[in-house]
Amino acid sequence: MVLCENGFGVRLAGLVFRRSVYSRAVGIRDFIELLDEHRARMAQGATLPEAEREETLREAEMMVGMAEAAIKELESVLKNRRVNLPEEHALRFAQDLFRHVAREEEAFKARLRG
């Protein structure tokens, strides 16, 4: 994982999501946008075509993996570097956001699998 300019993100060259290719750093905002897209697709319920269901499931699996990697990397930063209190709070806040996204995507994956 590579920290972005804002300090929280994952650099993955060529990661393909539904409408775009992320050759830049993927940040928390990108995770939230994709989570919102997944919620909208889930609202379609049974009308979601099988190909779209499989693609969405792959996206959710990638998001969970990236969120878990980000959480571990942020924990490593906290353990191995001297950070001041405001930085520590920011890092822990980012971890909490990634944990939330991972939990939501895990629940989403379970609903997709039926």
**Each residue's pLDDT tens digit in the chain (114 positions)?**
334 444 444 443 334 444 444 445 677 788 888 888 888 888 877 777 888 888 888 888 988 998 999 899 999 999 987 889 999 999 999 999 999 999 999 998 898 887
15 assigned to some structural domain? no
1 assigned to some structural domain? no
Q: What pLDDT score does 24 carry?
A: 58
48 assigned to some structural domain? yes
14 assigned to some structural domain? no
How many domains does one find in the chain? 1
Q: What pLDDT score does 47 carry?
A: 79
Give the count of beta carbons closer than 10 Å to the beta carbon of residue 12.
18
67 assigned to some structural domain? yes
Q: What pLDDT score does 12 carry?
A: 39
- CATH code where residue 102 lies: 1.20.58
The rounded distance, in Å, linking the Cα atoms of 90 and 14 is 28
Q: What pLDDT score does 29 carry?
A: 83
* Residue ranges making up the domain that contains 69: 27-113
Amino acid at residue number 24: R
Q: What pLDDT score does 28 carry?
A: 77
